[in-house]
Structure formats: structure tokens, C-alpha cells
Amino acid sequence: MTDGLWYFAYGSNMNRAIFLDRRGMHPLATRRGCLEGYRLCFNIPIGPGERAVANLVPDVAARTWGVLYLLTAEEFDRLDRTELVHLGVYERLGVTVADGGEDRVAAFTYRSTMTSEGRKPSPRYRGLLVEGARQHALSAEYIGYLESFELAHDERDGKR
């Protein structure tokens, strides 16, 4: 399939309710994927307090699992807008992703340099990642890894 661009989602875009419904994307194909050399972290501040959303940081020993979506160029441009690339919040990063089998695919993902250490996911946000990982049959080990992240105090409702 060469009629599109592969996008590697590792955050809330793994979740079908976010990617398909809220963002209105229509991938031409979907696969599980594993990105080597990057570690999942939560260091992009969102709102006041300690909440953050997902990001990638280089780490030669790490592997981050996620979802590969094959998108048209038009949808990828629209995704850039939803990810605020034009404002510098995220930037496209070219990566090579193992597709869960023997194949490796050239893909794009997003990462940000607008970071703040000591941040954590909210319960709602972490739940979106866990649900997305389950929807795409990522391993129980990786789902457990996602569930192991300490939660932020969510100042909107006083919960952790």
C-alpha cells in the first residue's frame, strides 16, 4: 500500500473514539506497531497543575507500542492541524516502525519539545490510552505498563 502515509499513534489517538470519531479520521489500513529507541513519557503540560499528555523521548533501550494508521496526504495535513503543528506544539518525526510481524514501515509520528518534567497523566487520559491499547490488541504486558504510570491530581475534580 503506497497510496498513503503511515502515522504511528502512541497516545490518545490509539483510541478509536478519539481518532475515528472526534478527529474524524478514516484510515485506509490499521496495524499494531512498535517503535524502538523511544520511551513513552508524559511531559507535555496541559492546563494548570501536574497533568500532561503523552510524548516520546529518545532512549536506545526502550520500545513504545502503538497503532499504525495509513492516511491520505489530505488527512495527514488535517491531523497536523489537530496536533497543533502550525503552533509548534508538536512536530512531525520520521520513524521506522515494526508492524508487529516481520515488516518495518516508514512512518511519521509526533513529538514535542514544549515539555515540563514531573508531569503525569490524568485518570481520564491514561484511561484513553489503556482502552486504545486494548482495542488494538496490544500485549497485556504493555497495557500493564500503561496502567503503571502514576496519575496526576486533576484539579478539575479533585481526584487522582
Quick one: cell of 80?
Answer: 497536523
- The model's pTM: 0.92
Query: What pLDDT, in 10s, does the model give residues 102-160?
Result: 799 999 999 998 888 889 999 999 999 999 999 999 999 999 999 999 999 766 665 54
What is the per-residue pLDDT across 67-98, written as a single tens digit (0 to 9) for each? 999 999 999 999 999 888 888 888 999 999 99
Q: What is the CA radius of gyration of the chain?
A: 15
Q: How far apart are CA 108 and CA 134, in angstroms?
A: 22
Q: Which positions ≥6 away from 150 have C-beta within 8 Å?
A: 120
Given this structure, which CATH class describes domain 5-147? alpha beta
